[in-house]
Amino acid sequence: MHELPLVFFTVLGQSAVGIFLLAFISYQLKLSDGEQLKRANLLAFVLMAIGLAIGILHLGQIFRAPNMLAGLGRSPMSNEIVLCGAFFTLVCGTIFFSYLKKHSGFARVCNVAAILVGLVFVWSIIQVYQLKTVASWDSLHTSLQMWLTVLVGGGACAVLAGVRKTGAIALSIGVVISLIAKPDYIDFVSHTDPMLSSQQTLFWAVQTFCLAVGLLMAVVALVKREGSSALLALCAGAVVIGELSARIAFYNLWAIPM
């Protein structure tokens, strides 16, 4: 629980990347219109801004921020921070040219660039935590969880923003893979660190329940053309809470053998 700022930063950041990606794909496939694309991108901007604001709390002192860039190129954490800044800058550019100084060409360039940089940003987060020195993190499950948040969190929020079909499909795929992989993941961490893993049961149970809510949300979004905005917001919120809960469990498993 002591890494809560990073929990919000990683989950909301990965979800924002997912929204940008899925909304653009949906628009290109003509499954949603320009207004839905803009609305989805605006929601991604809000999530990323919140994630950044909370993530800064992890520094303790804002003046320490420049120190995190000292290892650019060789330090996964420095690379993550730079890519995060680049992604958020392009997100801001997309919003600026979509809403404030409307220019569809510039907005499109920023949108595409934000997606590409965002995917590299998610990859860079994985490099920070795929560590051989932390036994419970030294697994492909670490990578899988991070990428699944892009589909699950991004998909749920995309549905909320009106990108229903593409968001629902991504959400369904993410939920199914997550549920299938969960028993093997729990078995892995249980053998790696039985004491710590036994303390995460509640967090995993919350995530499993929220994934079920997400799957129901995806089915409803695919079957019904219209849906209650309040209900969709509630379901999307539950899905994000589930990802936050699983990420708390992930950070709680941090331990370095002596």
Each residue's pLDDT tens digit, 192-225 = 999 999 999 999 999 999 999 999 999 988 888 7
The answer to the question of residue 239 being in a domain is yes
Domain membership of residue 241 as a residue range: 4-252
Q: What is the CATH number of the domain that holds 42?
A: 1.20.1630.10
Question: C-alpha distances in angstroms, 163 versus 48, 90, 155, 169, 183?
Answer: 18, 21, 9, 10, 31
Q: What pLDDT was estimated at residue 139?
A: 93
User: 105-119: b or e for each residue (b if 16 or more CB lie within 10 Å)?
Assistant: eebbebbebbbebbb
**pTM, entire model:** 0.92
Between 33 and 132, name the one with better pLDDT: 33
The answer to the question of residue 258 being in a domain is no
Percent of the chain with pLDDT over 90: 77
List all residues 6 or more positions away from 102 whose beta carbon is below 8 Å from its beta carbon: none
The answer to the question of residue 142 being in a domain is yes
The answer to the question of residue 219 being in a domain is yes
The answer to the question of residue 257 being in a domain is no
Spacing of C-alpha 150 from chain mean position: 5
The answer to the question of residue 99 being in a domain is yes
The answer to the question of residue 162 being in a domain is yes
What total number of domains does the chain contain? Answer: 1
